[in-house]
Amino acid sequence: MDTIVSIMQSSIKARRQQFDVRLRHIRHEQLCCDSLRLRQVLINVLSNASKFTPPGGTVSFDIEETASENAAKAWFKFTVRDTGIGIKPEFLRDIFKPFTREKDSRIDKTEGSGLGMAISKKIVDLMGGTIEVSSEVGTGTEFTISLPLQISELELGNFKFPDLKIIVVDDDVIVCEHTTELLRQIGIRSDWETGGQRAVQKVLAAHQAGEPYDAVILDCRMPDQDGVETAAIIRSAISEPLPIILISAYDSADVETKARQAGVNGFMTKPVFMSTLCRALQRYVLGQAAAYEQKSKTDFSGKRFLLVEDNVLNREIAVEMLESTGAVVESACDGAEGAAKFAAAPAGYYDLLLMDVQMPVMNGYEATQKIRASAKSDARTVPIVAMTADAFAEDIIEAKKAGMNSHLAKPLNLATLVREINKQLQKH
Ligand code: ADP
């Protein structure tokens, strides 16, 4: 789901649309399925929703776990709604047939093959689920996909939290209710508010009454006063440390610098699953590194990575971690050696580069710039992931500027490493 939301961000951003991502009644988060295919279906439906909705419109993505009669299977209902141009009834009947595209002057310019819906229907059928659509011209379209998914034996991990009190602030009541319900399940007391201004009053009142909150979870985009403004006001009014976590379905890199300046401690991406929430609380509220290590089954056999890292011990650990995924790992001791190795290899030889930032001879930024500027056909496309000890916003921006695709904080953790590599490999 994280991948899907992040893939959607560029289209949502380009069309300045509102993107609502909500969860309801989720009881199972660890599931076994053909995630690639499921993602293909959801991305197809979601990107159509964004594509056929004018700038400024709304796309919503709701994920609900519904009742299941089979103890080994969980049923999920994914609903994608848009406020777009809608689909004419005569076309709607045939939408799942191959090569159907509506002949419409309004969408002539939008490219596509007319195969997406037919393929999605096929995949959903094979997964034993259903896909339905309803639409009204000029009002919008709604796709509903219901699927059984195998419940995985994998444990979520053992999260233990002390007695905490948290306030959740989001203009979407469903998000508030869902998040406070998750908090209740892990024994954390919580309140919610749908507006930034009222949230500030509540935080200050609790503080003055001697019953302060232990953390604030703030939605990034809210109509009356957005998350960053709200964070800044809370920070200027309260001098005691109070962790503030920003949640967003949008690209947080855009607001990260401003948010950090306003006093935001950390970020969470919507949708907020139990695992997302627990990890964020451990990291930002309890100040611990996430104890949660996902036992990932990811297999990178057949992939070759170049690791550029000057510290011998760090290099050994990273090689070990990467090799545990089945990948072939080559390494270089500094940026210059890394850039030279990349230059000497045939195009497409490396599937991904992991680049330390601070290194002697040539640092990671310079090495990346050198690689990106070279004439090889994969010079601009090979994913380069930065690794830095201090994950400051400035470093992240610097890494992006140098042409790096993403960023990992050191010390490396296998679960995040695998997740990031997966994310990068899927994009390319
Ligand atoms: P394409 O590659 O053309 O997008 P799809 O099979 O995904 O192919 O979609 C087929 C057609 O269905 C689109 O060209 C469009 O006319 C219509 N369509 C799909 N989703 C929507 C939507 N959310 N709003 C309006 N029209 C849609």
Residue-wise pLDDT for 279-328, tens only, equals: 899 888 887 433 333 334 468 989 999 999 998 878 888 888 888 888 99
Question: For position 315, what pLDDT does the model report?
Answer: 87
Longest dimension (CA), the chain: 67
- 83 within ligand 1 shell (Cβ under 6 A): no
- Place 120 in a pLDDT band, splitting at 50, 70 and 90: very high
Average pLDDT in the 82-94 region? 94
pLDDT of residue 186: 87
Q: Cα–chain-centroid distance for residue 87?
A: 30
Instruction: Determine if ligand 1 sits within 6 Å of the CB of residue 117.
Output: yes
The string over 298-336, giving b where at least 16 C-beta atoms fall within 10 Å of a residue's C-beta and e elsewhere, is bebeebebbbbbbeeebbeebbebbeebebebebbbbbb
**Under 8 Å between Cβ of 31 and 62:** no
Establish whether residue 46 lines the binding site of ligand 1, counting it when its CB lies within 6 angstroms of any ligand atom: no
- The residue to mutate among 101, 133, 135, 144, having the most atoms of ligand 1 within 8 angstroms of its beta carbon, is 101
Please give the Cα distance from 368 to 356 (Å, whole number).
10
Pairing of strands 266-269, 58-66: unpaired
Residue identifier of the C-alpha nearest atom 9 of ligand 1: 114
Q: Could you identify the residue written with the tokens 């195969």? A: 115
Higher-pLDDT residue of 409, 117: 117
* Residue 269 dihedral angles phi and psi, to the nearest 5°: -95, 135
Provide the mean pLDDT of the chain: 88
Ligand 1 centroid–CA 63 distance in Å is 21
The dihedral of CA 287, 291, 293, 294: what is its sign? negative
Distance from residue 117's CA to the centre of ligand 1 (Å): 7
Give Cα separations from 334 to 315, 361, 387 (angstroms).
11, 7, 13
| Ligand 1 within 6 A of CB of 113 | yes
Residue 208's CB is within 10 A of a number of other CB atoms, namely 10
102 touches ligand 1 (CB under 6 Å):
yes
Per-residue pLDDT band for 141 (boundaries 50, 70, 90) equals very high
Taking the centre of ligand 1 as the mean of its atom positions, its distance from the CA of residue 381, in whole angstroms, is 29
| Minimum-distance ligand 1 atom for the alpha carbon of 118 | 6
For residue 75, report the distance from its CA to the centre of ligand 1, in Å.
26
What is the per-residue pLDDT for 388? 84
According to the model, what pLDDT value does residue 289 have? 37
Q: How far away, in angstroms, is 81 Cα from ligand 1 center?
A: 13
Percent of the chain with pLDDT over 90: 62
Predicted confidence at residue 413, as pLDDT, reads 77
Q: Given this model, what pLDDT does residue 281 score?
A: 92
> Given this model, what pLDDT does residue 255 score?
86
Q: Per DSSP, what are the bridge partners of residue 216?
A: 167, 244
What is the residue with the minimal CA distance to atom 14 of ligand 1?
Answer: 101
Q: Of 111-125, 134-148, 226-240, 395-409, which has the strongest mean pLDDT?
A: 134-148
Mutation test of ligand 1: which of 45, 117, 121 has the most ligand atoms closer than 8 Å to its C-beta?
117
Q: What pLDDT does residue 296 have?
A: 42
What was the pLDDT predicted at 204?
Answer: 94
- Say yes or no: CB of residue 142 within 6 Å of ligand 1: no
Question: Once rounded to an integer, what is the mean pLDDT over residues 10-25?
Answer: 92
| Ligand 1 touching residue 84 (CB < 6 A) | yes
Does residue 44 line the site of ligand 1, with CB under 6 A?
yes
Is the confidence at residue 107, as pLDDT, over 60? no
CA of 136 to the centre of ligand 1 (A): 14
Ligand 1 atom 2 nearest Cα? 112
Does residue 226 surpass a pLDDT of 90?
A: yes
Cα–Cα distance, 34 to 409 (Å, whole number): 29
Residue of minimum CA distance from atom 16 in ligand 1 = 102
Spatial distance between the Cα atoms of 251 and 19, rounded to a whole number of angstroms: 11
Protein residue with least CA distance to atom 4, ligand 1? 112
Q: How many CA atoms lie within 13 A of 320 on its CB side?
A: 9
Burial 402-422 (b: 16+ CB within 10 A, else e): bbbbbbbbbebbbbebbbbbb
Among candidates 285, 310, 301, 320, which has minimal Cα distance to 413?
Answer: 320
Cβ of 52 closer than 6 Å to ligand 1, yes or no, is yes
Of 222, 335, 214, the closest CA to residue 286 belongs to: 214
Confidence band (pLDDT; 50, 70, 90) for 157?
A: low
Closest atom of ligand 1 to 82 CA is 23
How far is 49 from 15, CA to CA, in rounded Å? 11
Atom of ligand 1 nearest to the CA of 100: 10
Higher model confidence: residue 98 or residue 52? 52
252 lines ligand 1 (CB under 6 A): no
Please report, for residues 114, 333, 351, the alpha-carbon distance to residue 286 in angstroms, rounded to integers and kept in the order given: 50, 36, 37
Ligand 1 nearest-atom number relative to CA 114: 8
Top mean-pLDDT range of 111-115, 149-153, 303-307, 408-412: 303-307
